[in-house]
Structure 1
Amino acid sequence: MIQRTLLSAVVAALALGSTAGLTGCAATGGQQTTAQAASAANPAAAIRQRADLSTLARLVQQAGLETALQGNVTVFAPNDEAFKAVPVATLDKLAKDPEALKAVLNYHVLPTVLKSDAIPGAAQVVTAQGAKLSLSKAGDFITADESLVISADQPAGGGVVHVVDRVLMPPKK
């Protein structure tokens, strides 16, 4: 219980930032309505509009990456439950190291649009962080490294958002 409280405190400390753009999502359980999806001008806006991506939205803002997520990019967006599973020590390190936070967040971004129907059986793609991310697809199941895509092809202006169940960590150099 103490660890969960500490984790919540660390996430809250990491997540200091605006909650603007999150209103209207609670009634849909954090899922976008068709109208909200259509109004998402870009991936950053699409992320802000989903209540289940609020931690990611705050971290993107904290890291100053909102502009980088306004183009034709693909974002593998960890949901709030994914952030709760990250060890406290890791979150603490990211809170103290803005460059490490940017690296982790950029590892979730592809500098091009990749929809689920274009993912082959197995592939490696280069992320905005510069490292390779392994993707695989079997039927309707898509994985990115060790995470499962739980909601694919969320419209985001010219980009796309795939919600994942784990925070992706770039390989150590």
Structure 2
Amino acid sequence: MRFTRMRTAKAAAAAVVAIPLALGVPASQSHARDASPSPSGTFGSGCSALSQKADTAKDKVVEAAAAYPQLSQLVSALVRARLSDTLDGKPHITVFAPNQQAFQKVTASQLASLLGNQGQLKKVLTYHVVDKQITPDELSKGSFTTVEGGKLTTSGSGTDFKVNGKANIVCGNIQAANATIYVIDAVLQPPS
């Protein structure tokens, strides 16, 4: 009796997995997030903490970022700097997107000063953008020129990467219609 129940339970579990696959329904996103980095999947310890809508691949970059509550301060800053149309109009970009925790590391006076100076805000935000789509394979020893004009470096391996040796990529390879987004835990400062 016990053997029959166990075999029935295993068959039912297999059916639950097989039916969606047979119908062409994609596997759960949580499995993709735990996978090794690849051009088609997200990675990073912070991906599970990002609440998001199901798919941002058809959205332009600012709308895609707005789908993540953890990027709301970045989106607000992009709108304030009048960069939404500029970024949405670029065909293939990479955004190293500071999350809420990144903005919390900036002092209140520094943040107020930055938000009050549109030119400086634009400079800082465009330093987070590279005018090409960067794949996870390029992150291990990368050096990129940003839209702001400065150099930005990436280093690491597997699913553990840093930007400029200080900001951790907490969730990477999020796809938007015109961009790849890497969520980072620090606000980057352009070189003086």
Cα contact 2:53–2:67 (8 A) shared by 1: no
**What is the RMSD of the two structures over their aligned residues, measured on CA atoms?**
1.6
Matched, 1:63 2:81: yes
Cα contact 1:55–1:79 (8 A) shared by 2: yes
Please name the residue that 1:92 is paired with. 112
Structure number, greater radius of gyration: 2
Q: Which runs of 5+ in 1 are unaligned?
A: 1-27
Cα contact 1:47–1:57 (8 A) shared by 2: yes
| Residue 29 (structure 1) shift | 5.9
Give CA-to-partner distance per residue, 1:123-166, whole Å, 9 cap, x none: 22100100001111222211111100010010111311100011
Instruction: Decide which of 144, 153, 163 is 2:183's aligned counterpart.
Output: 163
Please name the residue that 2:131 is paired with. 111
The TM-score normalised by the length of structure 1 is 0.76
Give, in whole Å, the separation in 2 of the partners of 1:116 and 1:30: 19
Cα contact 1:77–1:162 (8 A) shared by 2: yes
Q: Which runs of 5+ in 2 are unaligned?
A: 1-47
Aligned length: 142
Please name the residue that 2:26 is paired with. none
Give CA-to-partner distance per residue, 1:55-105, whole Å, 9 cap, x none: 001110010000122131100000011101102231122122110000000
The TM-score normalised by the length of structure 2 is 0.69
Please name the residue that 1:127 is paired with. 146
Percent identity of equivalent pairs: 29
